[in-house]
Structure 1
Amino acid sequence: MKLFLLAALVAIVSAGEHKLKCKTVSVRGKIHKKDVLASGINRPYQLSMYKHEHKIFFSYNVGKNEEDTFEIGYIQMGEKNVTAIKGVLNGFASTVDEENHHVYLGGSKGIYKYNLKNNSESLEHIVSGHNIWYMFFYKHLYFIDFPSQTLYVYKKNATDPGQVHRCDIKDKIYQYVIDNDGDQFITTDSGLYQIKKGSNERHLYSDIKLFRGAALDNTGHAHFCSNHTIYATNKKNYTLEEIAYVRNVFGITFDSQNNIVYSDPKNIVKLLPGNCD
């Protein structure tokens, strides 16, 4: 399953264990300490934050390294244990609709809506016939199908029970976000591009061939991560700004205080301003 990119992820995983002592990293030139939220997880990937309850959702491998079997789980901020979500076969992607208290979970059998309102935590199967690679929520639910790497959108309103439509972007896409200006960002085999709102106008930001994660901060500013770097987009000159160097980054998201949360091959880590005590 999803072997062609996962092989690249596995190749960089080091065998050594992380030391428990406090470590720091520079973020935009300012010292931040690493707060390890959870450890001992096998390749936590595709992070998404439900800010109402400070829950971080992610996929992770529960099989052997050479026989990947993925599952979706979450950690509650302040707790170290992973809570697995059963019922999503080969769970590989998640995204959050904060306003409506929904988390969408994607796997090899489609998409499930996980309702967190009033602590009901019900799981509803809403999209079938797609093997889900990646998801992003902005007014509607966008998802990328595997192995075609085609972008789709799932739309639902009061009079529509929900329909899937193929988007008009023809590229094979690996990550997709829409920022606070309504501009789209896509990663492809040839790099990272911005597509201006309401047009087909494109701008190349980077020719990096492998990005691992994408997320918006709390201001709606698009961020991406590659093997060892977390980037912010600079829309004034269509470039990526390296804001933090962290080895073996697998995914990124932001908490309710706009702190960066990232994963590496075994841990989920939050970056907090300040030095070690």
Structure 2
Amino acid sequence: MHLILILATAAIIQAAVIKEDEVKPCDGIIIDNVYHEIEELKKDIDRPYSLAVAYSTNRVYFSYSLNKDDDVFKTAYVNLNTKEFAHIEGVNNGFAQAVDQTNHDVYIGGSDGIYKYNHKKKSAEFLGVRDADVWHIFFKDVLYYSVFPSQFLFTYINGQSVRYRDLEDTKVDQFIIDNEDVIFFTNTTGLFSQMKGTKEATLYHEFSDVGVRGLATDINGDVFVCLPDGIYKVDKSDVSLRKMLAIDDVFGLAFDNDNNIVYSDATKLIRLKPNKDKTC
């Protein structure tokens, strides 16, 4: 009798172990109660930065470091449909990328000016702003760019560069413009917003140490922010940042033409694809 009980108990324990082993851990990410699969787009790249997606081709353009000691950067892209990876030739130290989604133009900022990508030649051609070290670049109706080390913000229209009047007395590091013509910008003090046509800025987030690493708008024009510990969404209703996703050492952010999150950490590019039929 005792032997039967022992054997029965052992069988129950073994069944429980087998059942536990069959339970697979959650290998995705939950965002707003929706399961997202993690798709690795490119790995073994150093600090991919300044991400911008061209919706017409679903390519993500970005820069990454070729040499940690000398801060030499190269612009490249990954095709989000095929995962094709390629460098963009013709740019000296390509560091910043922007896309005109209406005309499908890709702009690249380098250490000696602004370039425009020629899709047919598959290389970049010099556009203007000779000898300027372009730090950040964005397109909405016209081309905007900031320069290093002055951190002045300019517009580039019809071959002419002009200081952006609304922020001519303010240093600007990174910046982006949302769907309501509010410009969000950063400097050593913090993250601010300011309605175009005004000079009144609103502080969203004050920096105590490391600041914003990336700004992005999704296909709806909503603004998202990369801080070193994750991705945040701007909530203009109460002037706050809502944490969407915890990521260690996040560097850049963009959205593909299906509004999926594309982000980078210190060594790779990742896309998050929602799967409503799956849960953790």
TM interval, short-chain normalised: 0.7 to 0.9
Q: Which amino acid aligns with 1:102?
A: D
Task: Give the superposed CA RMSD.
Answer: 1.8
Alignment of 1:121-160 (within 5 A): 121=122, 123-127=124-128, 128-156=130-158
Q: Which runs of 5+ in 1 are unaligned?
A: 1-20, 157-161
1:84 is aligned to 87
Q: In the aligned structure 2, how far is the partner of 1:134 from the partner of 1:207? A: 20
Q: Give 1:30's match in structure 2, choosing from 21, 30, 34.
A: 34
Q: Judge conservation of contact 1:25–1:245 (CA < 8 Å) in 2.
A: no
Shift of residue 81, structure 1, vs aligned partner: 4.5
The CA distance in 2 between the partners of 1:203 and 1:233, in whole Å, is: 13
Deviates more, 1:164-173 or 1:234-243: 164-173
**2:60 is the counterpart of 1:59:** no
Task: Could you tell me which runs of 5 or more consecutive residues in structure 2 were left unpaired when the two chains were aligned.
Answer: 1-24
The structure carrying a bigger helix percent of its residues is 2
CA deviations on 1:153-181 (whole Å, 9 max, x unpaired) are 1012xxxxx10001131222221111100
Equivalent position of 1:210 in the other structure: 211
Q: Which moves more between the two structures, 123-132 or 74-83?
A: 74-83
| Whole-Å separation in 2 of the counterparts to 1:67 and 1:197 | 37
User: Aligned residue for 1:96?
Assistant: 99
Structure 1 partner of 2:163: 166
Alpha-carbon distance in 1 for matches of 2:118, 2:86:
16
Superposed CA offset, 1:176-202 (max 9, x none):
111100111111111111102322222
- Is the CA contact (8 Å cut-off) linking 1:38 and 1:81 kept in structure 2? no
Pairing 1:1-277 to 2, within 5 Å after superposition = 23-63=27-67, 65-116=68-119, 119-121=120-122, 123-127=124-128, 128-156=130-158, 162-168=159-165, 169=167, 170-208=169-207, 210-274=211-275, 275=278
Aligned length: 249
Aligned residue type for 1:106: G
Q: 2:150 & 2:29 partners in 1: Cα distance?
A: 37
- The residue identity in structure 1 corresponding to 2:92 is L
CA distance in 2, matches of 1:91, 1:120: 17
Per-residue CA deviations over 1:31-53 (Å, capped at 9, x if unaligned) read 32211111111111100001111
Kindly provide the amino acid, as one letter, of the partner of residue 235 in structure 2: N
TM-fit CA distance, 1:79: 3.5
Question: In structure 2, what residue type is equivalent to 1:59?
Answer: S
The answer as to whether partners of 1:50 and 1:56 remain within 8 angstroms in 2 is: yes
User: CA contact under 8 A between 2:182 and 2:196: conserved in structure 1?
Assistant: yes
SS in 2 for 1:62: strand
Q: Percent identity?
A: 37
Matched position secondary structure for 2:47? coil
| Aligned residues of 2:89 and 2:124 also touching (Cα < 8 A) | no
**Contact 2:88/2:124, CA 8 A, preserved across alignment:** no
Letter of the structure 2 residue corresponding to residue 155 of structure 1 = I
Contact 2:59-2:79 within 8 A present in 1 as well? yes
For 2:117, the aligned partner's letter is Y
Determine if contact 1:177/1:215 at 8 Å carries over to the other structure: yes
Give yes or no for contact 2:90–2:123 (8 Å, CA) kept in 1: no
